[in-house]
Amino acid sequence: MSDIYEIAVIGSGPAGLSAAARAAEYDQQARKNDPNHPYTHILLEGFKHAAKTIYRYQKGKHVMDEPGFLDLRSPIEFTSGKREEILNSWDEGIKEKEINIRYQSEVTSISGEAGNFTIGFAGGESIQAKNIILAIGMQGNPRKLGVSGDDSDFVQYQLDDPDEYKDETIVVVGAGDAAIENALGLAKQNKVYIINRREEFSRAKEGNLNAVLAAINDKNLDFDCYYRSSVARLALPDTAGQAGVLTLDTPEGEVDIPCHRIIARLGAIPPRKFIESCGIEFPSDKPDAIPELSGRYESNVKGIYVIGALGGYPLIKQAMNQGYDVVEYIRGNEVKPADHPILDLQLKMLPYVSDVEEILSLYQQRIPMFRRMNTLAFRELVIESDILVSQADEDILSQLKLQADQVKDTRFAELKEKKEQRIAKLEQKGKKVSKAERETPPASPKITKLIKAGDYIYRHGDYSNTFLTVVEGEVILESADGQHRQIIKPGQFFGEMSLLSGRPRVGNAIAGDDTILIETPRRTMVKLMNSNEEILGGIDWIFVVRFLQQYFAPDADTADLRDIAQNTETKTFNAGDYLYQEGDEGDCLYLIRSGTVSLQRERSERSVVIGQAQSGQMIGQMALMGDKTRRESARATVRVEALLIKQKEFLALLKQDPERVHDIQAATSEKLKISNQMESLPEGGSMISFLMGEGLGESTSALIIDEKLCVGCDNCEKACAETHGGISRLDRKSGQRYGHINVAISCRHCEMPHCMKDCPANAIHRAVTGEVFIDNSCIGCGNCETNCPYDVIKLAYDAPKKPGLLQWMLFGRGNGPGQDPAYQPSSEALDKGKKAVKCDACVGQKGGPACVRSCPVGAVERLNPEQFVELIAP
């Protein structure tokens, strides 16, 4: 044994175990030449077993090897599998690699400097090491619920064995992997609620996401989820074993859940006191802050390295790769990160010669928002994004595209060969490989996208929601009328308005010459914003600034609106809440950021709807234009977010562009005209109330049938079935009616589609023209069916191919046009399983929706909320 170890690894989780295994390999190699070569490494573990966190996972838990795109380079084997299998494999690895591990050795202090650290133990003993690798994780410091009673036995922050609990009502608070796995394990023999404060499970690994959505949609499982909900308070039981009550704050108001216990899985915070005692500094006072590290995982204390969850890298495969890499760095070796080949391909067509690491470092420093991210999180963001490069010369652009295709084809062949080798290796070990796994080709490799300078990145009115960041060059943001332009420079971003509001793009975005963009998909950005409050705050602030520019000062600089934006409040209203009420003294106007608001006046003990406002519109401005008394009530018909602008900020905005006063006055006059028209037709207001009550306030394309014209021919349903493989996506007869208006059961193509929330296969998309549709990657989980509040989605087998129209007309074969109500799925359809079916508004079909085109009397229309007033116009 050495008098002083070269490397001391503290913590035997995935990161520490991998680091120790790599150090042990070097010791094994040295002993081939010198059998008496001492250990130059030691692995210190305070628990009785390696990998304490995984050891304490619930029994039988399936451990995943995410992210799937990343290769493992650790000396210790790891593939997805049950907790017990992985622990057994790691125990074997410890013996095989001859890791010098010391159990039940709790480290209480670290002192000294690089080359001569002293590590103290709880029993008073100490050892010395030249370098220290801290891999202690954070599981010993769970985040609490934050309400009275959260430290009682009624609330648990760990679940070892879900089989211990039976026939109980259990609430699991949290939406990460641990919470999902606990909830699923308990659901076998208990009633389970899982509480997600977000709108979707944005942080979950794909396998867990699929599993929890399947559970929510399983009618045979007593498993429910509350989205957008948080813990309000807790009433503890009087005696052990009795039920207590958890009160939730939900979009529909407070909800009480009687339950026998609460499992809180809200993540963990670093053991800050111990880490700071080692001399390691944190960048802020926030409880969840992590130490700042160099690109080689070295802390501000030279010779102390931090890896794994404590360094911000919680996934097992990532942590294990770090463990391998950090030992190489300590030994002075140069190694490329495991994701280097993926990024190298993705950045291949950039117009300069630089190493991947140099490019990423440059980009992260150049873009202020991304500086707040840790290195690995930024690398993942780039991998999940598209890199766009513009080129003005068409000949050069064509050559580059040809070159890119060749590079992509070569990489695909490499991936295919690598997959075949992996399958062969698994079969050699006696592991079964499914036919689907064998036949499914590798995912198409991602490479730089090339576009022509001057082309539109998006156009006004497009329904897209990616987030774009300028790295090089510039992008021109142009107003819809072409009258106003804004230049977006390197380090700035755009596209946040559609990302946050769900509304179509406002204005045009035009690529400049030699411009490089990072285009990030919505799900990736939602995950990032949910995990990083600074980034969320920065994006939200720019959203407010650009919203103000759009309405009041299109030519104003961001700096000119900074103070106004900071004093502008964003407020959320749940469905049914009043923004303001008739007769109130108003002191602000509202810019609707998302959702729909119904405008009402009280007449003869009932409310008369006199108008509505959708996201992107202004209400209540009369209070700042001379009439402080509210002349109507404004009520949220769905969940609404609005910006509140008060008198001082309103006047400051008008000073930025005095000419806009006339536009605001004209728009206000038009609104008053429509309101008065609506009030003079109270039956029309009732019609609007009915439409809003049916949820059409959040629609962008609702199917309306005028039954004064409808002759009941059902051509609309028949045309729908004929256009969509024999299965109709609308139900005319079951639609709700008011007077002569029938709201048929058909997709409304909501402003913020509920069905797109948590689609595990990412199979639901929105066309740039607004239609929401499902592609062939649907896995039939049923989550969209459950999330849709309007029952317009169903799961169905593929219908058998029908005889042609002439065969039906001439020979009577088949049942004629439309859906066969008694069709029997083929064996092939049964094998394929049910898939989600919904109206796609005939996206891509010439002439538009078949239901509208097929109506012989013009009774069928597709309308958005702004057109509802036309239904009652005299």
pLDDT at 140: 64
Q: Decide: residue 676, CB within 10 A, 0-12 exposed, 13-18 middle, 19+ buried.
A: exposed
Spell out the domains of the chain, with CATH numbers in brackets.
Answer: 5-140+270-338 (3.50.50.60), 155-264 (3.50.50.60), 342-531 (2.60.120.10), 568-692 (2.60.120.10), 695-872 (no CATH)
pLDDT at 484: 87
Question: In which band, very low, low, confident or very high, does the pLDDT at 97 lie, cut at 50, 70 and 90?
Answer: very high
HSE-up of 853 (CA within 13 Å, CB side)?
Answer: 12
- For the chain, what percent of residues have pLDDT higher than 90? 30
Q: What is the pTM of this model?
A: 0.72
pLDDT at 806: 53
Query: Which spans in 63-159 are helix H?
Result: 83-96
pLDDT at 807: 53
pLDDT at 685: 63
DSSP output for 209-264: HHHHHHHHH-TTS-EEEE-S-EEEEEE--SSTTS-EEEEEEETTEEEEEEESEEEE
Stretch 761-771: mean pLDDT, rounded?
A: 83
Dihedral, CA atoms, 694, 697, 698, 703, nearest 10 degrees? 60
pLDDT at 123: 85
Of the two residues 533 and 126, the one the predictor is more confident about is: 126
Decide: helix, strand or coil at residue 456: strand
pLDDT digits (tens, 9 = 90+) for 22-58: 999 999 999 998 988 899 999 999 889 888 878 877 7
- Does residue 811 have a pLDDT over 70? no
pLDDT at 1: 44
pLDDT digits (tens, 9 = 90+) for 142-167: 888 989 998 898 999 888 788 889 99
Least confident of 141-145, 284-288, 742-746: 284-288
- Does residue 470 have a pLDDT over 90? yes
| Residue 811 amino acid letter | F
Question: In which band, very low, low, confident or very high, does the pLDDT at 678 lie, cut at 50, 70 and 90?
Answer: low
Judge contact between 779 and 836, C-beta under 8 A: no
Instruction: Report d(CA 747, CA 700) in Å as an integer.
Output: 10
pLDDT at 819: 72
Least confident of 292-296, 623-627, 670-674: 670-674
The H or E element that residue 564 is part of is helix 562-566
53 Cβ contact partners less than 8 Å away, ≥ 6 residues apart: 13, 137, 139
Of the two residues 612 and 505, the one the predictor is more confident about is: 505
Least confident of 101-110, 329-338, 394-403, 802-811: 802-811
pLDDT at 455: 95
* Bridge partners for 195 per DSSP: 173, 226
492 Cβ contact partners less than 8 Å away, ≥ 6 residues apart: 469, 470
pLDDT digits (tens, 9 = 90+) for 103-145: 999 999 999 999 999 999 998 899 999 999 999 877 667 888 9
Report the mean per-residue pLDDT for the chain: 85
